[in-house]
């Protein structure tokens, strides 16, 4: 299914690798102009160079609300508006039992995975409404609806992200802004580089599809939800998990 996003302006956070990079590539292929934001400014710049002038790099940390505000303002100033957003930036965090979880690590994980999405929507929403409406996709996880031992901060953030998405959708859908969440299973991205073969096989075994997902598969659903082909979809949480959650 081909998408035509010509004339649309998008911002993607966590854009320089993995799912974010795949989203940027597919949005650009569909004709959108994209602000590719990432904490790794060099990687974002390399991606923009590879894709051409319709992709603009931006270095920023989503846990800094002033940086997020500047990101949206920069997008509007350079491209002339904002129609679409993918709030994808995220981190994994430490693997420790809840009572042993360090307070600074708890705040670090929520600062990126939850607060960063809130900050992004806070500044994206007015900009999108100013152009007449559009769509936002927040990147959750299968752990937005499932638990995972040793990951209290990550699981809490992704559950909260799903709830925040639904609340925002109720607030803005009648004004032409659709907001949805996507919940990937374990995806074969650079985040898994260095994992030993036994641990990798263990992750694969959790997915009835018999493999991990790809960033392109997650990006395909994300871009569909951003498009007018999904015009009656809002406030929803969509899994891309190879059957993980069906067990």
- Which pLDDT tens digit goes with each residue over 155-173? 999 999 999 999 999 999 9
How distant, in Å, are the alpha carbons of 146, 181, 200 from that of 212? 17, 20, 9
Structure tokens at 204: 């694969």
- In CATH, what number does 9-242 get? 3.40.50.720
pLDDT in tens, the chain (247 residues): 689 999 999 999 999 999 999 999 999 999 999 999 999 999 999 999 999 999 999 999 999 999 999 999 999 999 999 999 999 999 999 999 999 999 999 999 999 999 999 999 999 999 999 999 999 999 999 999 999 999 999 999 999 999 999 999 999 999 999 999 999 999 998 777 778 889 899 999 999 999 999 999 999 999 999 999 999 999 999 999 999 999 8
The pTM of the full predicted model, rounded to 2 decimals, is 0.96
Rounded alpha-carbon distances, angstroms, from residue 35 to 15, 160, 201, 214, 222: 9, 26, 36, 23, 16
Q: Which segments of the chain are extended strands (E)?
A: 9-13, 33-38, 55-59, 84-87, 134-139, 177-184, 237-240
* Residues 178-192 pLDDT 10s: 999 999 999 998 777
> Which burial class, exposed, middle or buried, applies to 55 when counting CB atoms under 10 A from its CB (0-12, 13-18, 19+)?
buried
- What is residue 197's predicted lDDT score, i.e. its pLDDT? 87
**How many CB atoms sit inside 10 A of residue 243's CB?**
13
A 10 A CB-CB count for 12 gives 32
- 3-state DSSP call for residue 216? helix
Q: CB–CB of 207/39 below 8 Å?
A: no
Q: Which residues are catalytic?
A: 154
């Amino acid at each position: 299914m081909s998408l035509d996003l010509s004339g649309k302006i998008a911002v993607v956070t966590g854009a320089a690798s993995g799912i974010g990079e795949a989203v940027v590539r597919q949005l650009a292929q569909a004709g959108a102009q994209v602000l590719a934001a990432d904490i790794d400014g060099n990687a974002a710049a390399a991606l923009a160079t590879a894709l051409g002038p319709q992709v603009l790099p931006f270095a920023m940390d989503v846990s800094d609300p002033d940086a997020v505000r500047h990101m949206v303002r920069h997008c509007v100033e350079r491209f002339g508006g904002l129609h679409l957003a993918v709030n994808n930036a995220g981190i994994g965090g430490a693997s420790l039992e809840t009572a042993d979880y360090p307070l600074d690590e708890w705040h670090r994980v929520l600062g990126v995975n939850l607060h960063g999405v809130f900050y992004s929507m806070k500044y994206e929403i007015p900009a999108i409404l100013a152009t007449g409406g559009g769509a936002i996709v927040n990147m959750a996880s299968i752990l937005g609806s499932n638990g995972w031992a040793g990951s209290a901060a990550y699981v809490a953030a992704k559950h909260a992200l799903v709830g925040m998405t639904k609340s925002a959708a109720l607030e803005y859908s009648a004004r032409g802004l659709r907001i949805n969440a996507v919940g990937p299973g374990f995806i074969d991205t650079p985040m898994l580089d260095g994992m030993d073969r036994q641990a990798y096989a263990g992750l694969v075994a959790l997915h009835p599809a018999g493999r991990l997902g790809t960033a392109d598969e997650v990006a395909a659903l994300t871009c569909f939800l951003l498009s007018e082909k999904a015009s009656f979809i809002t406030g929803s949480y969509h899994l891309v998990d190879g059957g993980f959650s069906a067990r």
